Amino acid sequence: MKTAIVTGVTGQDGSYLAEFLLTKGYRVVGVVRRSSSERFERIEHLREKITLDEGDLLDQSSLVRLIEKYEPLELYNLAAQSFVPTSWSQPVLTSEFTGVGVARVLEAIRMVNPKVRFYQASSSEMFGKVREVPQKETTPFYPRSPYGVAKVFGHYLTVNYRESYGMHASSGILFNHESPRRGLTFVTRKITDAVARIKLGKLDKLKLGNLDAQRDWGFAGDYVRAMWMMVQRPEADDYVIGTGVMHSVKQFCDRAFARVGLDYRDHVETDPAFLRPAEVEHLCGDITKATTVLGWKPEVDFNGLVDMMVDADVERHSRGN
C-alpha cells in the first residue's frame, strides 16, 4: 500500500487532502503536534481511517523518525503559521514554522530517503506587490509580509533541493482557497460566519478591514487534487493554482449577505484595527501551466464557493454550534 505523510493534517487543506488520498487508496499518516487539548474537528470523521502521529516542524528528529517509521512514497508539507496578520506580531515564529520548517522536512527526506516525493505548500502571497497581472510561475516575487518572505524561503529551498540533489520536490503556488472548514479569522469565513449569525439574530454588525482588496478565491477541495497531480508527474516542477478570476472583499460580502436575503451595506462596518502594515491589493493567477501540463481545472466557481460556505455556517449556527 502507498503511504503518504501529510503535515498540517488538522488544518483546512490537510483534512481535504487526507480525504482525497484515502479515495486513491493511500495509507495516510497525519502529523499532529502535541497540545494540552486535542483540536481535531476537521479530521474527526477520518480518525478511524488515517494514522496520526506526533511531529513538529520545529523538531528535526521528529521528522526523521516519522520518515524512518512509515517509509512514505510521498510527503505533503502543508504545516505552517498561515495567518498573514500573525506574521507581523510573531515574525520569528512564522519564519521558523513557515520558512525554516521546510528546510527541516527537506533535510529529513534527504537524510532518510531522497526518493520520497515532496510537495511544498507555497503561496500567492509570495507575489505580494505584484509585478505583473495575472501572476504565473515566472512572475518575480515581491512579498509584503513576514509570512510571504518565509514562503519565498520555502519555495526556493524546494527548487534548490530539486536542482541540487535531484529530489522530486514540487512547489504549488496556490492562490487563496476556502471552504466551510476555513479558519474563522480569514476574511471569507469571518464573513460567512457573521452572515449566519446576523441572519439568525445573534449578531448585528460585522467589522472588516480593507474592503477593496481583491483575491482569486477557489475551493480547497479542488486545490488538494492539484497537489496530488503535481506529485504524480514524472518530473517535479512548480505550478500556479487558482481560478484566474478575481473578486473584492466587498463583492464577497455582497454575494454572501444576498444569499440569506440581506444587504451587506446594512451590516458591514470598516475598522482600522483590521488594516495591515502593508497590504497585498490584488492577486490573480494565470493557470495556463496547470491546465495544460497537469490537466487540472477548478470545478467550484466564486458564487458556488460563497453559497457553499454561507449555507454551511447557517446550518451549523441553526444547530446551535
Number of helical H runs and strand E runs in the chain:
11, 13
What is the residue whose three cell numbers read 479530521? 43
d(CA 239, CA 262): 39
User: Which H or E run includes 92?
Assistant: helix 91-94
Q: Which residues are paired to 187 by β-bridges?
A: none
Question: Which phi and psi (to 5°) does residue 224 adopt?
Answer: -70, -30
Q: Which residue is nearest to ligand NAP (CB)?
A: 11
For ligand G4F, the closer of residues 62 and 176 by Cβ is 176
For ligand G4F, the closer of residues 62 and 188 by Cβ is 188
223 noted as active-site residue: no
* 134 forms part of the interface with ligand NAP (CB under 6 A): no
Q: Which of 108, 121, 268, 300 binds ligand NAP (CB under 6 A)?
A: 121
123 noted as active-site residue: yes
- Residues between 258 and 317 that touch ligand G4F (CB under 6 A): 274, 276, 279-280, 283
d(CA 156, CA 305): 31
Residue 167: C-alpha distances to residues 115, 180, 289 (Å) = 6, 35, 21
CB-based contact 218:300 (threshold 8 Å): yes
The alpha carbons of the chain give a radius of gyration, in whole angstroms, of 19
The least distance separating ligand NAP from the CB of residue 97, rounded to whole angstroms, comes to: 5
- Residues between 150 and 209 that touch ligand NAP (CB under 6 A): 174, 176-177, 183
264 noted as active-site residue: no
Q: Which of 5, 6, 12, 145 binds ligand NAP (CB under 6 A)?
A: 12
Question: Which residue is catalytic, options 62, 82, 95, 123?
Answer: 123
List residues near ligand G4F by CB under 6 A. Answer: 82, 84, 123-125, 175-176, 185-188, 190, 208-210, 213, 215, 249, 274, 276, 279-280, 283
Task: Please list the active-site residues.
Answer: 123, 125, 147
